[in-house]
């Protein structure tokens, strides 16, 4: 069962998890990050640094609650980091809260830590000058098993405090299920689903806190202070060493922080640190600097956390653990290292070329993709763990070149200036408009050399980030339709210009033709009206003459008829 998972919807191509992963156990596919479980050492860095909170550990709280509802006896083994996490001076406050949640009982993992310390003392006596490395930190063990198996012979084959305590609790509560309350997610790899010696379930302190909140249960702070026990110190820097009886002739060394631990492991493999007992912790500050504390960004710092724990172990006594007699404290360490094929140089060169790396000078090794060098990134691409597009300088240069090409082929003139009103970009179309032969003649110079800067100043003073106008530039004999735009911070302003001179000239020609046609129509109409008037005048005179003639003819006709009658 996987311990970590990614919520893909929130993964935003930032690669921060890859940068902070010490073993690069994250695959990026189609812009989404995925955990490679076979390589992951559960250090929790990806959970802590993810700005989108896209990574999370898989909780077993619901399964535990179901077991409780079915009547199963659940026993909690509580890591001593609770002293730094909860504001309580004694374990009874935590124990009572857990019982209210439904746990049958709860005991401190420090009991198991005491068993481990006694076993480590015995192992140190048998070291015979060889380095001995503590194996209580699950991330350190996973790193050695998966990435540096040569270090396994130097790791103490001893159960972790959680594993030892789980064995103890099984004796004390036969048939019960053991739940470990942990300050880190790495311990989830030590449950019985992975190693038969561990607890049955593991939940983190923050998961417990959320469970308590949902149930309306709080950890009481007004409880008696517990008597100090030396084994509580295993959760702070050098705590295991502090609980051991030191031997003469043997050096003791504490190392925390995964990078330093890896360097020490490699040094031991190379033959260094002979005659040294080494306690290691992947987290700075040991368990009280674990994933839970880093993930939640709790208010108190490591020094305050250590102060709280110290009250519980300084000048402390040992636990009386009769059940511990006869428990096998041996831990099996397994080589889980997976061999990786090394591709031919020609293949790496081909991948580098796809990333825009054609020579050693092109290999910036900036680390933005999450890999130390460009060649490491190329190897990850070959292994299917990374994508070519993860190279930020390459993608930026590619985008800029593509943008530059688009701008230069644009038929509209484009000019961009900065807040000091100096030209930062100009395309070929704009150069033609302003009769500029070489862009070097204007780039970096005030825009006032080629156009009125008032239009840009006006935009900077407006609330809007865009406006448009039309203008005729007499010095260039061009008509322009312009759109002025700027970014919200008004640090870059651009003007997009469309040369409409030919269209405007054509429009003027059409307008003149229309005016001439209108004038000609007026002349034709005047001539027509004059002709009509002349025709009407002639028709009027003819009609009058015709009327007189007809009248005279009629009179003549009537006169003849009258003469005959007489």
Instruction: Please list the pLDDT of the chain residue by residue as tens digits (566 residues).
Output: 578 777 766 677 788 889 999 999 999 888 788 889 899 999 988 888 888 877 777 889 999 999 999 999 999 999 999 988 887 888 999 999 999 999 999 999 999 999 999 999 989 888 788 999 998 999 999 999 999 999 999 999 999 999 999 999 999 999 999 999 999 899 888 886 556 678 999 999 999 999 999 999 999 888 888 887 888 889 988 888 888 888 888 999 999 999 999 999 999 999 999 999 999 999 988 998 888 887 765 555 777 777 778 777 777 788 888 888 889 999 989 999 888 888 999 999 999 998 888 888 888 888 888 898 999 999 999 988 888 888 888 877 777 777 788 888 889 999 999 989 999 999 999 999 999 999 999 999 999 999 999 989 988 888 888 999 999 998 999 999 999 999 888 888 999 999 998 888 888 788 888 888 888 888 888 888 888 888 888 887 777 777 777 777 777 777 755 554 44
Measured CA to CA, the distance from residue 158 to residue 267 in angstroms comes to 22
Ramachandran area for residue 484 (φ above 0: left; ψ -120 to 50: alpha; else beta) = beta
- CB neighbourhood size of 1 (10 A): 10
Q: Where are the alpha helices (DSSP H) in 53-160?
A: 61-69, 82-85, 91-101, 110-125, 138-147
Would you state the structure tokens that stand for residue 431, as one six-digit string?
């150069």
Residues 59 and 4: beta-carbon distance below 8 Å: no
Would you state the structure tokens that stand for residue 206, as one six-digit string?
């923050």
Strands, E assignment, 231-299: 251-256, 276-281
What is the pTM for the complete model shown?
0.74
Residues 136 and 234: beta-carbon distance below 8 Å: yes
Strands, E assignment, 1-49: 4-6, 26-29, 32-35
CATH number of 410-499: 3.30.450.20
Strands, E assignment, 474-539: 478-486, 492-499
Burial of 384 (0-12, 13-18, 19+ CB in 10 A): exposed
Measured CA to CA, the distance from residue 253 to residue 115 in angstroms comes to 20
First-to-last alpha carbon distance for the chain, in angstroms, is: 151
Q: Which is nearest to 268 in space by CA: 127, 154, 120?
A: 154
Residues in the chain: 566
Burial of 32-46, coded b for 16+ CB within 10 Å and e otherwise, reads bbbbbeebbbbbbbb
Q: Which long-range contacts (CB under 8 A, 24 or more apart) does 557-562 make?
A: none
Measured CA to CA, the distance from residue 264 to residue 133 in angstroms comes to 10
Task: Identify the CATH assignment for 1-58 out of 3.30.70.20, 3.90.1150.10, 3.40.630.30, 3.40.50.2300.
Answer: 3.30.70.20
């Amino acid at each position: 069962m996987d311990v970590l998972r990614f919520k893909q919807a929130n993964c935003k191509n930032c690669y921060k998890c890859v940068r902070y992963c010490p073993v690069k156990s994250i695959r990026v596919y189609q812009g989404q990050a995925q955990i490679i479980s076979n390589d992951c050492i559960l250090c929790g860095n990806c959970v802590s640094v993810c700005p989108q909170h896209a990574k999370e550990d898989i909780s077993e709280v619901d399964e535990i609650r179901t077991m409780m509802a079915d009547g199963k006896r659940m026993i909690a083994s509580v890591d001593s980091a609770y002293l730094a996490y909860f504001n309580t001076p004694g374990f009874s406050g935590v124990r009572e809260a857990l019982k209210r949640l439904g746990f049958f009982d709860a005991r401190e993992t420090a009991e198991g830590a005491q068993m481990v310390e006694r076993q480590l003392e015995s192992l140190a006596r048998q070291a015979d000058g060889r380095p001995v490395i503590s194996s209580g930190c699950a991330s350190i063990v996973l790193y050695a098993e998966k990435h540096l198996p040569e270090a396994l012979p130097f790791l103490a084959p001893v159960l972790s405090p959680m594993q030892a305590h789980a064995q103890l609790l099984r004796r004390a509560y036969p048939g019960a299920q053991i739940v470990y309350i942990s300050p880190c997610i790495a311990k989830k790899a030590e449950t019985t689903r992975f190693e038969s010696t561990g607890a049955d379930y593991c939940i983190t302190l923050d998961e417990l806190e959320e469970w308590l909140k949902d149930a309306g249960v709080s950890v009481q702070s007004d409880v008696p202070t517990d008597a100090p026990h030396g084994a509580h110190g295993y959760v702070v820097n050098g705590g295991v060493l502090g609980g051991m009886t030191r031997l003469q002739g043997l050096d003791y060394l504490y190392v925390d922080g995964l990078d330093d631990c890896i360097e020490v492991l490699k040094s031991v493999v190379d033959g260094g640190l002979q005659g040294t007992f080494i306690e290691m912790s992947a987290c700075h500050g040991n368990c009280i600097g674990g994933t839970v504390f880093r993930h939640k960004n709790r208010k108190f710092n490591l020094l305050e956390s250590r102060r709280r724990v110290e009250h519980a172990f300084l000048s402390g006594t040992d636990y009386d653990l009769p059940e511990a007699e006869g428990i096998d404290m041996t831990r099996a360490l397994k080589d889980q290292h997976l061999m990786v094929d090394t591709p031919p140089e020609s293949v790496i060169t081909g991948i580098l070329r796809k990333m825009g790396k054609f020579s050693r000078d092109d290999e910036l090794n900036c680390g933005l993709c999450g890999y130390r060098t460009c060649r490491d990134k190329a190897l990850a691409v070959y292994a299917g763990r990374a994508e070519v597009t993860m190279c930020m300088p390459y993608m930026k240069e590619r985008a800029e070149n593509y943008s530059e090409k688009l701008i230069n082929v644009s038929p509209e003139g484009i000019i961009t200036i900065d807040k000091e009103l100096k030209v930062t970009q100009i395309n070929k179309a704009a150069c033609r408009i302003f009769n500029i032969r070489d862009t070097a003649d204007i780039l970096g110079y005030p825009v006032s050399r080629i156009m009125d800067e008032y239009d840009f100043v006006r935009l900077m003073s407006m609330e809007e980030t865009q406006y448009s106008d039309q203008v005729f530039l007499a010095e260039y004999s061009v008509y322009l339709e312009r759109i002025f735009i700027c970014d919200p911070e008004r640090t870059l302003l651009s003007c997009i210009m469309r040369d409409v001179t030919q269209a405007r000239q054509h429009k003027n020609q059409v307008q003149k033709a229309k005016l001439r046609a209108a004038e000609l129509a007026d002349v034709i109409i005047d001539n027509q009206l004059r002709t009509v008037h002349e025709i009407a005048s002639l028709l009027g005179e003819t009609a009058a003459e015709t009327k007189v003639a007809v009248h005279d003819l009629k009179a003549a006709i009537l006169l003849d008829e009258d003469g005959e009658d007489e």
